[in-house]
Amino acid sequence: MTKTALIIEDDDDLSTIFAEAVRAAGYEPEIIRDGEVARARLANTQPDVVVLDLHLPHVAGTSLLSQIRADPRLAGIRVVVATADPRMAEITRPQADIVLIKPISFSLLRDLTVRLSTSGGKQTGSG
């Protein structure tokens, strides 16, 4: 069965690049560009990886992160936080598997996602 990745990012280009990166890492990406839509989608899907932007329309990325961590059904999900704000990066670090600070390179995201699928442990690297 193909692993799936949810790309939650409101910028068209960045979401496309992130999708290509996770696809290159062996995941089937699904792109969502709105916080509200993402919240609804998380209630009925169980992706392996979530690439999460923190600055989203309607619902903030941080509350989506809390929602994921509070849901036992989504316990095994790997979350990669992508943000431009170093302070937000520090705040979300305890809840995220990986925190990346924009700009985020295609190859870095690809390589890290590959490692996520092979290793079971939590990654602590930063951008």
* Chain residues in the site for another protein (CB under 8 A): 11, 13-14, 17, 20-21, 23-24, 84, 86-87, 90, 101-107, 110, 126
Comparison of 66 and 107: residue with beta carbon closer to another protein: 107
Measuring CA to CA, how many Å separate 44 from each of 77, 87, 89, 109, 119? 14, 31, 27, 26, 26
Closest distance between another protein and the C-beta of residue 103, in Å?
A: 4
Q: Which is nearer to another protein, 87 or 120 (CB)?
A: 87
Output the smallest distance, CB 37 to another protein, in A: 21
In the complex, minimum distance from the CB of residue 31 to another protein, in angstroms, rounded to a whole number: 14
Quote the CA–CA distance of 42 and 52 in Å, as a whole number.
Answer: 12
Q: Between helices 106-118 and 12-24, what is the axis angle to 10°?
A: 40
State which residue, 71 or 90, has the beta carbon closest to another protein: 90
**Bridging pattern class, strands 78-83 and 98-101:** parallel
